[in-house]
Amino acid sequence: MLIICKYSSYGHKRDGFVCRNDFKSTVKLLTSKGKLSEQTAFLIQRLVIQLWEDFWCCGEDKGFDYQVPPEEFVELMANLLKLSDCKKLLEEPLGLLFGVVDMDGSGVVNLKKWTIYNEAIGISAADAKHSFEVCFDQKSEISKADFIAVGQVFFTSVDEKHNSRHLWGPLI
């Protein structure tokens, strides 16, 4: 199942759960691979923690040790996808994710940034390059709006052949 594949790839410990520390581990990998300054790493960590708290914890204070079990993850995603305003609801987490990938804050993501991010979550540079080229029509840079639009289609489209399927396709 696509949703479980996405879920399991974020669990750095591969223990069947996704937790706040998994998101923080991604920031550590981004910091080292992207050679980020302490200030930039701190800002990205804030974005990642906000994404964790707002989206996975649904804005509730569930504590630092909260782990999202697979069943809850699937239920949360399934319920989200059933909503008529799903695309609108995806704007904020996709915008936060864009901020993480745009690690220098320039307002655009290029292949280098995309590759660094993908390597931090366990995707090869070759797969990252392929997904960037296919999803973003060979553009050299993408804006936040482009990123959000492709992310929305990725999560909501039933067309298995749509180019957006390559966005996080290498995680499968």
Indicate if the pLDDT at residue 108 is higher than 90: yes
Residue 19 CB partners (closer than 8 Å, separation 6+): 11, 65, 66, 67, 68
- Any idea which residue has 């993501």 for tokens? 109
pLDDT at 111: 93
The answer to whether 77 and 3 have CB atoms below 8 angstroms apart is yes
Residue-wise pLDDT for 54-97, tens only, equals 766 666 666 666 777 777 777 777 777 777 787 887 888 888 88
pLDDT at 56: 66
**Residue 47, CB-side half-sphere exposure with 13 Å CA sphere:** 22
Cα gap 44→170, rounded to integer Å: 23
**pTM more than 0.75:** no
pLDDT at 64: 61
Cα gap 97→103, rounded to integer Å: 10
Could you tell me where the DSSP H helices lie in the chain?
Answer: 2-10, 20-33, 38-51, 70-82, 86-101, 111-120, 125-135, 144-156
pLDDT at 16: 62
Indicate the pLDDT class of residue 7, thresholds 50, 70 and 90: very low
Residue-wise pLDDT for 11-54, tens only, equals 555 566 667 777 777 778 777 877 777 888 788 778 777 777 77
| CA distances to 8, 63, 105, 127 from 69, in Å | 10, 15, 32, 28
Residue-wise pLDDT for 132-163, tens only, equals 888 887 788 999 999 999 888 887 777 777 77
- Domains along the chain? 2-171 (1.10.238.10)
Q: Is 148 left (phi over 0), alpha (psi -120 to 50) or beta?
A: alpha
pLDDT at 30: 75
Indicate if the pLDDT at residue 169 is higher than 60: no
pLDDT at 110: 94
